[in-house]
Chains A and B, each alone.
Chain A
Amino acid sequence: MQQLEEIWRAFLRKPMGIVGLIMLLAVVFVALSAPWLAPYNPKEKIDVEPGDLLAPPDAEHLLGRDDAGKDVLSQLIYGARVSLTVGFVASFMSMVIGTTMGLIAGYRGGRIDHLSMRLVDFLLVIPVLPLMLVLISIWGRGLWKIILVIGLLGWTITARLVRSQVLSIKERRYILRARAVGASHYRIATRHVFPQVLPLVLAQAVLAVSDAIIAESSLSFLGLGDPMLVSWGMMLNFAFERAISRRAWWFLLPPGFAIVWVSVGLILIGSTLEEIVNPSLKSHHLFDPRQMMARFEGMAPKTPAPDASTGVETERSG
């Protein structure tokens, strides 16, 4: 807990992180208070006249109306709920799976480690979006199915990062001491190793929320969103089909910029957190050459013992 407090204090010194946090909190606020903020209820049946369809913004409808004559602003506000739900729940799932896999792989080592890392390699070469399209078209559209598919496919990088951390942590003295006094593996893994990887997992979780939100919006845009809910991606799907020829920018641009807003906010928070908890990474983990090299496990000559202080990924040479 003391560790988290330190991270929080370091976070408050980073302007980029604070900007990101404010951006995210704004969206969370909008999502929570949607019924009070939204001028109209998007589910309400309304009487429309032909002139109302794709009507441009006016005093009553600040962002105009959509192709069914409904208020765009209200849909945008309620759409925040869908995006954030998908983002946070899917990210939580990915983190639980990724952390568990990484902990077990790194801590147990041996065959389990080998098998789980090959599974990660396998999932990394499968084109994700096409796979999601296939799964959702077969399974049927629905919010929980979307969350499940995104969550089940998004844990790979977390598992690998946690594993490499665990590899360095488990050789530290206090772990060996705990082992010597007879603590069980389970206890060591949950009480001593897990708290050490938690900050890194938190940074990953924030980035995963952004990835999940973008994935949901892409699926919805391609026509596989939950038909009962209006998400930002779905609005873009309707707008792209019907509004683009009428140049109805008020229907087309707001949902897109909403997605960009929330995902940029999350990326700013996530990369700031990563910088704090893992100073060896100069940017997003995906772009760190050392992480890239880690893929070629077994090729590097004998590497020095894992560096405990920086958490640099060092692979055993096979």
Chain B
Amino acid sequence: MQRSDYLIRKVLFGLVTLAVVVGFNFFLFRILPGDPVKSIARSPRLTQEAREKLRIEFGLDKPVFLDVERLGKGDVIGAFDTQFTAYVSALAHGNLGISFRSRRAVSEVLAERVWRTVVLVAAGEMLALVLGTALGLISAWRRGTRVDMGILLWALFCWGLPTFFLGIILLILAQGLLPVGGMVTPGLKPENGWAYWSDVGKHLILPTLTMAIIYTSAYILIMRSSVMEVLSEDYILTAKAKGMSTFRILGSEALKNAILPMVTMIALNLAYTVGGAIQVETVFSWPGIGRLMYEAVTMRDYPVLQGTFLLLAVAVIAANLAADILYSMLDPRVKAG
């Protein structure tokens, strides 16, 4: 199979996935119980005319998906003047609607908060990768020993640990030692320079640690099994016979073999990691998009909920596509085609 074919297929799959998510997002929020205008303009004092005006303003007077009446009259282009096309074109312009609660544009709120989640997820993933790789290597190297058993049990234990509960435990343990809520001590501003950033760093420690501990287990287990697989290969035996030290074998050959599954794991994991970010941000009041989603759920702020879900889904789809592309560059079999 040619590499370009492979890439085209992956990009196509990504685009189809994206289209399905957009369509899904649209229909899901149309089947809301009750009239959307009622929930937008909750005030019962609104007159009938004002309500009608709102309906037109939000395009809710139009048919949902396809104007069959106009299609019957031969007006093919007019038949697509519907809520769905309005939604898609608004989306293309980066318009995600207005938050019910804060009355601000959803895209604006998301843009303001997204980097905080990116920092948290990146820091957590990085720490998890480092810890997972190290523990997985040790575990495979010392397979069958107590060390191996201990690491395995630890990984299984973390697998069964709900993210939010680990967060709560760390929060209780660290009370008084580290800041346990928010992103920065009130009063500090970016203009304060170093004091501000080190304070943010301190606030980041507990959420990062929570995410890292939860996601380490997957990396430990995948590292362990792929290293064990390499260690049983003939060329490792040859390398050993030639006098290559165990340490170097582990460092070069074993790691090389583990890179591909690791890349895949990171991308696959991301779909779960954003779920973890919601929980961690909720526990530690980290003001990212995870916390935003939690607030939107409790406040029934549907436009924010819809926008956040779309952003998260797009991010994960894009990351998976990136992993697929990276994979095709790392795997020599693809080049050979």
Contact = CB atoms under 8 A, between A and B. Distances in A.
Interface stretch (B13-21, B68-76, B99-107, B237-245): B13-21
B111 interface: no
B108 to A, nearest CB: 20
A317 interface: yes
A299 B218 contact: no
A293 B262 CA distance: 10
Given A125-B320, A283-B221, A260 B274 contact: no
A26 interface: no
B272 A287 contact: no
A282 B232 CA distance: 14
B233 to A, nearest CB: 13
Contacts of B31: 138
A130 B13 contact: no
From DSSP, what is the main secondary structure of chain A's interface residues?
Answer: helix
Given A137-B297, A286-B218, A267 B159 contact: yes
B316 A125 contact: yes
A221 B167 CA distance: 12
Nearest to B9: A298
Contacts of B17: 122, 125
A121 interface: yes
Contacts, number: 181
A50 interface: no
Contact of A256 (B165, B294, B331): B165
A5 B33 CA distance: 51
Contacts of B156: 264, 267-268, 271
B275 interface: yes
B120 interface: no
B226 A124 contact: no
A81 B9 CA distance: 46
B229 interface: yes
Contact of B261 (A222, A264, A292): A292
B204 interface: no
B298 interface: yes
Interface stretch (B56-64, B195-203, B277-285): B277-285
Nearest to B283: A240
A25 interface: no
A51 to B, nearest CB: 24
Interface stretch (B77-85, B168-176, B182-190, B246-254): B168-176
B281 to A, nearest CB: 11
B333 A299 contact: yes
Nearest to B263: A292
A107 B229 CA distance: 30
Contacts of A233: 162
A298 B1 contact: yes
A301 B278 CA distance: 40
Contact of B309 (A130, A214, A286, A288): A130
B265 A129 contact: no
Contacts of A124: 268, 271
A140 B224 CA distance: 43
B6 A299 contact: yes
A128 interface: yes
B65 interface: no
A182 interface: no
A108 interface: no
Contacts of B226: 289
Contact of A138 (B32, B171, B333): B32
A317 to B, nearest CB: 7
A110 interface: no
Scoring B29, B225, B300 by chain A CB atoms within 10 A of each residue's CB, the highest score goes to B225
Interface string A110-146: 0000000010011011111111011101101000000
A140 B297 CA distance: 11
A133 B298 contact: no
Contacts of A221: 162, 164, 279, 282
Contacts of A244: 168, 171-172
B309 A299 contact: no
Given A130-B313, A134-B305, A299 B328 contact: yes
A223 B333 CA distance: 48
A287 B218 contact: yes
A260 B161 contact: yes
Among B9, B161, B162, B298, residue most surrounded by chain A Cβ atoms (within 10 Å): B162
A289 B333 contact: no
A84 interface: no
A120 to B, nearest CB: 12
A214 B221 contact: no
Contacts of B313: 126-127, 130-131
A103 interface: no
Nearest to B25: A134
A138 B297 CA distance: 9
Contacts of A293: 260-261, 264
A292 B278 contact: no
B327 interface: yes
B163 interface: yes
A240 B9 CA distance: 46
A256 B162 contact: yes
A238 B29 CA distance: 29
B32 A134 contact: no
Contacts of A118: 13
17 contacts: A127-B274, A130-B312, A133-B305, A134-B309, A138-B32, A214-B162, A218-B279, A223-B294, A224-B297, A240-B164, A244-B171, A253-B169, A256-B168, A282-B228, A292-B265, A293-B260, A298-B9
Given A127-B272, A222-B294, A287-B218, 4 more contacts: A133-B297, A138-B28, A240-B283, A292-B261
Ordered nearest first, which 6 A-B pairs have the shortest CB separation? A129-B275, A287-B221, A263-B160, A289-B261, A256-B165, A264-B160
